């Protein structure tokens, strides 16, 4: 089993050197988030993740048990959650008016990285609560906030989101769950929801479900969906509220998290947000969940890298092709072999570059929600987030899953054996490309809704950021990164226009190009973050650091990314521009 060690220095490097969090906190008037406080939080979060959660990762794979509607989480999960609550961790970025500590959401994400690398299945329980808190903060009435938000902020209660039903996966316009208005202002909710992560468990006394349902006179499709708060137990009395767990799924991975089928049988619910605008309100939750799923891809790469790196340094097999590196040993450690280094460096590039991308997205979220942000700042941050969220979710989970498989591959046959823990990372990570919208759905969202629908306006907000970076860092030492990055981002807009013109004649051209368009966008966006990492490393070297090897390693990894991984974007460009014909010319009956 990989022995997780929180990458504290890498986290601090990303926060302070690459993304200049100190200036960011001042910009959003979060001066209380001093460097000393942030480092203290990261250090304490690291201890909790390493000492409490990591030891439960492999044992938690035994899974949850289900008995007559009740779910028991794996041994140690409930006790770990109580420690989490007692430590005040759920309140870190919460609104002080409801018991929170008022620190930036971006800082909370750094904590979530360590928690979820140590034990993703456990981390989903408080992670879903966080999305419920954001939704209530944005759309709840004051009474709803006092009733539910304070309990979610303290961690006494947990939360979920309930979207999918047996007959409709991503197509929520087909959902059938009904909400009947009552004389007292509440609603009776009836319907079945499936795939509800953390939908039932024994870790908290109540679960607050955020549920999509239809009012009796609602129009059809997605325009007729409203959003409701439906607690498992009534808020005041904690009496059962007719939210019943019919079963939990038998899954490929993340066995420690209960994925529930929930039956709402005349359960009492309360409207949150305007009638028939539930899907718009739910996007507050969904966008957070998508960023959280992107995080899963990144942490899979990190945990798998830690395991495979330790193994590669220890495992002896054959001699280096250039001659023995350790002649005193019977064979060399496998880390001397170029192909093993290819796999390790790919994992590292995805993990460290992905960290910078996700942290940057969380800073954009800070700007959008900061009270002192100007309209111009909010417009820019929201536009960039709109583009980067589907990229981060889909690209980092696809490459994170690749990294997890590479970790297993480094172990050879031992990677296939359960006791090493590498195959569990692969199984757990596989879901990340599926839930919160599959890779194909994210790709259509990116090219269709986020790029072509507004004629590339949101995309230009993002490419302007890349352009400014290239302009301001056009110095000799950075040319190996700036020149290719400039070339890639400039052609991005050009072929986007070409796809748009083809789509005017045949809408299938969008669907045919979508996946490769997203992957191209991911490789180029990650190239920007690796260029920023290299630039930050050069700055530290010029300042006279006491540990030059650390920063030289960042530059060398950036160089690997640009030479070995970024060229994949060329292949994706060629495929996306090849059009829809070869996908559609085969008749259905010919399959």
Active site residues: 436
What are phi and psi for residue 160, nearest 5 degrees? -140, 175
Q: Residue 165 is encoded by which pair of tokens? A: 């039903």
The neighbour count for residue 446, using CB atoms within 10 Å, is 28
Radius of gyration of the chain (CA): 24
Q: Which helix (H) or strand (E) holds 211?
A: strand 206-213
CA distances from 389 to 187, 366, 394, 395 (A): 33, 14, 9, 10
Three-state secondary structure of 214-279:
ECCCCCCHHHHCEEEEEECECCCCCCECCEEEEEECCCCCCCCCCEEEEEEEEEEEEECCCCCCHH
> What gap in Å lies between CA 126 and CA 584, rounded to an integer?
44
Half-sphere exposure of residue 319, counting CA atoms within 13 Å on the CB side? 10
Q: 150: which strand partners?
A: none
SS3 content of the chain, % helix, strand, coil (to 5): 65, 10, 25
> What gap in Å lies between CA 179 and CA 266, rounded to an integer?
9
DSSP state of 326: S
């Amino acid at each position: 089993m990989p022995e997780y060690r929180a990458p504290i220095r890498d986290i601090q490097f990303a926060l302070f050197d690459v993304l200049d969090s100190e200036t960011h906190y001042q910009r959003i008037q979060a001066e209380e988030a001093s460097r000393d406080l942030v480092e203290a939080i990261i250090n304490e979060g690291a201890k909790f993740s390493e000492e409490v959660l990591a030891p439960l990762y492999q044992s938690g794979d035994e899974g949850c048990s289900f008995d007559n509607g009740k779910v028991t989480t794996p041994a140690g999960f409930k006790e770990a959650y109580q420690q989490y609550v007692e430590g005040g961790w759920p309140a870190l970025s919460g609104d002080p008016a409801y018991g929170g500590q008022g620190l930036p959401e971006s800082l909370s994400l750094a904590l979530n990285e360590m928690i979820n690398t140590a034990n993703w299945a456990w981390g989903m329980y408080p992670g879903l609560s966080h999305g419920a808190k954001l939704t209530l903060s944005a759309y709840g009435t004051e009474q709803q906030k006092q009733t539910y938000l304070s309990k979610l902020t303290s961690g006494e209660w947990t939360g979920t989101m309930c979207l999918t039903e047996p007959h409709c996966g991503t197509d929520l316009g087909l959902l059938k769950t009904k909400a009947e208005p009552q004389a007292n202002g509440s609603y009776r909710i009836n319907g079945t929801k499936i795939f509800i992560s953390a939908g039932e468990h024994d870790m908290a006394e109540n679960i607050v479900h955020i549920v999509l349902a239809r009012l009796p006179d609602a129009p059809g499709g997605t325009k007729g969906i409203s959003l409701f708060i439906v607690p498992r137990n009534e808020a005041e009395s904690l009496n059962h509220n007719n939210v019943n767990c019919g079963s939990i799924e038998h899954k490929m991975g993340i066995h420690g998290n209960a994925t529930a089928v929930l039956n709402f049988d005349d359960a009492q619910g309360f409207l949150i947000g305007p009638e028939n605008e539930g899907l718009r309100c739910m996007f507050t939750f969904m966008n957070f969940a998508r960023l959280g799923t992107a995080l899963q891809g990144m942490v899979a790469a990190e945990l798998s890298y830690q395991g495979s790196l330790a193994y590669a340094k220890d495992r002896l097999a054959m001699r280096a092709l250039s001659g023995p590196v350790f002649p005193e040993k019977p064979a060399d450690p496998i880390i001397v072999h170029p192909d093993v280094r290819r796999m390790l460096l790919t994992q590292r590039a995805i993990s460290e570059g992905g960290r910078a991308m996700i942290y940057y997205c969380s800073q954009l979220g800070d700007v959008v929600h900061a009270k002192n942000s100007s309209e111009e700042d909010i417009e820019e941050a929201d536009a960039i987030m709109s583009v980067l969220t589907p990229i981060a979710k889909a690209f980092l989970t696809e490459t994170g899953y690749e990294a997890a498989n590479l970790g297993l591959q480094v172990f050879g046959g031992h990677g296939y054996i359960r006791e090493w823990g590498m195959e569990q990372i692969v199984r757990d990570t596989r879901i990340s490309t599926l839930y919160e919208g599959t890779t194909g759905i994210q790709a259509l969202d990116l090219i269709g809704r986020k790029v072509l629908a507004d004629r590339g306006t949101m995309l230009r907000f993002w490419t302007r950021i890349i352009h400014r970076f290239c302009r301001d860092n056009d110095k000799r030492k950075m040319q190996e990164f700036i020149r290719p990055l400039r070339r890639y981002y400039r052609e991005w807009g050009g072929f986007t226009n070409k796809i748009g013109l083809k789509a005017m004649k045949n809408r299938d051209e969008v669907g045919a190009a979508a996946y490769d368009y997203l992957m191209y966008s991911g490789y180029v966006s990650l190239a920007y973050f690796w260029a920023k990492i290299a630039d930050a490393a050069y700055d530290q070297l010029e300042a006279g650091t006491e540990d030059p090897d650390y920063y030289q390693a960042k530059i060398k990894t950036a160089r690997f990314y640009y030479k070995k991984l970024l060229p994949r974007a060329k292949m994706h460009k060629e495929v996306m521009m090849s059009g829809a014909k070869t996908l559609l010319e085969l008749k259905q009956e010919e399959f």
